[in-house]
Amino acid sequence: MYACIDVGTTNIKLSIYNDELDSIKHESVKVPVSSEGLQDPLLVLQAVKHFFKIAKESGARSAGIACYRSSMVAWDREGNPLSSIVTWLSSSSENTYTSLSRIVRAIGKIPPLDLVISPVSPALRFLAVQRELESRFGRNQKNMIWTLDSFLMYNLTKTFVSDATNSALTGLIDPARFTPLSPVLALLRINPDFPEIVDNARYYGEYEGLEIRALIADQQAACVAEGALEEGLGKVTNGTGTFVDIPLSKYRRIDGLIPIVILRHNGKAIYGAEGYLPTSGSAVDFMIQSGLLKSYDELDKFLMPNVLFIPALAGLQIPSLPKARGIITNIGLTTSREEILSSLLLSISFHVRYVIEKYAGRLSKLRADGKLSISNSLLKLISSSTGLPVERFKDVEATQRGLAILQKISLGKMGLNDIDNNRPELINGERIEGLEDAYKRWKGMLNSLRNYQSS
């Protein structure tokens, strides 16, 4: 049996899978994130260790770990944390960016450096943590700063490693060659100790008697589960946010999208491009807390709304508007609760379409996963908006299923070509009157947010 630990931003989940890739046990625990986007690394580590013990007691023989991405943490040689986890929700990178010299910021506007020297860059989160340590311990301290997966592995196995998918998103590593980005290091005046960058399916060590056999970023693990490893098939995860990942035949940059490593296996990388809406699922949770929505079941009661809603509760990634906030327009005296809920689903589907239009390549279909993907209405809207069929597996927890698959690959029990065995459910959207006009108005709202941020 295979223990699969998904370290999410607000929830850490354990699922145990059998050889048939059926989930036979599931547990989760909440881990708080502060209003500043910071998280206690000890709470995360304790939760992960706790799940290892449960997995061992349940009969698991191996384990895999998937982590949320683009976050930085510092620790000493004994593994003790020296900083909070600066998550992807933190504004510290924006504050660090404004403190850079005008020359560095000007150089940072030149592609491809604009992806790294920006207000939302993980490299600037690294710099923020480094500056904090220097203020406390001086410039000659020999502590480590890297991604969450690296911190966890150091404490579990006492090895300083980081997987290729997480390291490629730091802005400090060239994702095409997996070597340090010297121009970035020079501009930001940082000289980190780099971990060993490792493949996603191999033997990494043991903890609590379980062999650790998979290590990967969360969205990339979902790509593995969905078989989204070749051009033509896109993956849409509707969880805390909505993440659209599109495999590419080789590493290349697409304007507006994030170049990613989907998987590295036997030293060979599979590349992709990503665009995401950070707070789609968070907007649903907000609606539940505010009383607009009773449960996720109500999300299947769609009607074409007159209102439009962009759920930018923590900024937007595409277009790059980190300071933007949510907006609802065209509310009137007769606006119903159902219209507001439906406008959220419509906006998510439009965001998926917007990313695919940026890609400008051909897709044959999409595969959807994540908690929000249990909504048939949402997936039908995504299909209607994009003009693509949408497939959904019965198990929507794709990150954990991907970890189970990677463990089996590491143990030689299956190959990458064996992933797409189960027949998914096919969901086709219908023609919706007024959809194209609503999409045009929605894009106009994006432009208004752009104007608001620049004012």
- Threshold 0.85, pTM exceeds: yes
**What are the residue ranges spanned by the domains of the chain?**
2-216, 227-455
Regarding the domain delimited by 2-216, which CATH topology (the fold level of the hierarchy) does it fall under?
Nucleotidyltransferase; domain 5 (3.30.420)
Helices (H) and strands (E) in the chain, counts: 13, 23
Q: Same CATH topology for 2-216 and 227-455?
A: yes
Per DSSP (E only), the strands in 286-442 are 308-310, 327-329, 365-369, 390-392, 425-427
Query: From CA 47, how far away is CA 54, in angstroms rounded?
Result: 11
- 406 phi, psi to nearest 5 deg: -65, -35
> Residues 389, 417, 221, 228: what is their CA dihedral angle, to the nearest 10 degrees?
-30
pLDDT at position 454, please?
47
For residue 415, what are the β-bridge partners? none
Q: Are strands 196-198 and 179-180 parallel, antiparallel or unpaired?
A: unpaired
* Residue reference for tokens 């944390």: 81
Nearest Cα residue to 391 out of 379, 377, 375: 379
Q: Is 234 helix (H, G, I), strand (E, B) or coil?
A: strand
CB 216 within 8 A of CB 406: yes
The per-residue pLDDT for 307 is: 85
Q: What would the two tokens of residue 243 be?
A: 């993440």
HSE-CB at 168 with a 13 A cutoff on CA atoms is 26
pLDDT in tens, the chain (455 residues): 999 999 988 889 999 999 988 889 999 999 998 988 899 999 999 999 999 999 999 999 999 999 999 899 999 999 999 999 999 888 788 889 989 999 999 998 888 888 888 888 899 999 999 999 998 888 777 899 999 999 999 999 999 999 999 999 999 999 888 999 999 999 999 888 899 999 999 999 999 999 999 999 999 999 999 999 999 999 999 988 899 999 999 998 898 899 999 999 999 999 999 999 888 888 888 888 888 888 777 777 777 778 888 888 777 878 877 777 888 888 888 778 888 888 889 999 999 999 999 998 999 999 999 989 999 999 999 999 999 999 999 889 899 999 999 999 999 999 888 876 667 899 998 888 889 999 999 888 888 877 665 44
Query: What are the Cα distances from residue 30, in Å, to 11, 39, 47, 143, 248?
Result: 4, 12, 9, 29, 35
CATH number of 227-455: 3.30.420.40
CB atoms within 10 A of CB 424: 17
Q: What is the pLDDT of residue 160?
A: 97
pLDDT of residue 452: 62
